[in-house]
């Protein structure tokens, strides 16, 4: 077989794996400041059904529920329960190994994404 055709065949067969690698689906952990500046753990569960939950304190109690959509590497998130802001935020996302990084494109909810607009989470 021609080396170029081998390359194209291999690229075609592996392309679904690269798409799956960018999936945000799973359980993620990070720390966020509370209203007094103390860092508290946050568990984020992102389902393959277009929903997510936030567990502040990682104590097993879900405080916020939301929905999301994907458009390539952009994720639009919107809290639907347990939040004061119901606006939709748009973030680019990047998954590298066990790290998910979301970078704010636009978001009317000022607390989401922190002051820098970058959320870094670890698989867990």
Interval 22-53: pLDDT, tens: 799 999 999 998 889 899 999 999 999 999 99
Q: Is residue 118 part of a domain?
A: yes
Residue 110: predicted pLDDT: 84
Distance between CA atoms of 58 and 29, rounded to whole angstroms? 8
In this prediction, residue 16 has a pLDDT band, given cuts at 50, 70 and 90, of: very low
The verdict on residue 62 lying in a domain is yes
Residue at 85 is within a domain: yes
| Residue of 4 and 82 predicted with greater confidence | 82
Q: Does any domain span residue 16?
A: no
CATH of the domain at 53: 2.40.128
Split into its structural domains, the chain has a count of 1
Q: What is the CA radius of gyration of the chain?
A: 17
- Residue of 9, 45, 10 lying closest to 24 (CA atoms): 45
Domain limits for position 57: 24-123
Query: Does residue 31 form part of some domain?
Result: yes
User: Is position 51 within any domain?
Assistant: yes
pTM over 0.75, yes/no:
yes
Q: Is residue 67 part of a domain?
A: yes
Q: DSSP H helical segments within the chain, as ranges?
A: 3-21
Determine the average pLDDT of the residues in 93-111. 94
């Amino acid at each position: 077989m021609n080396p170029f055709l081998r390359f194209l065949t291999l690229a075609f067969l592996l392309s679904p794996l690269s798409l799956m690698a960018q999936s945000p689906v799973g359980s993620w952990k990070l720390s966020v400041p509370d209203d007094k500046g103390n860092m508290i753990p946050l568990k984020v569960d992102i389902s393959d059904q277009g929903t997510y939950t936030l567990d502040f304190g990682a104590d097993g109690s879900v405080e916020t529920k939301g929905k999301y959509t994907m458009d390539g590497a952009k994720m639009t998130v919107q809290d639907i329960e347990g939040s004061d802001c119901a606006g939709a935020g748009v973030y680019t996302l990047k998954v590298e190994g066990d790290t998910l990084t979301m970078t704010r494109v636009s978001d009317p909810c000022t607390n989401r994404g922190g002051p820098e607009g970058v959320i870094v989470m670890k698989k867990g």
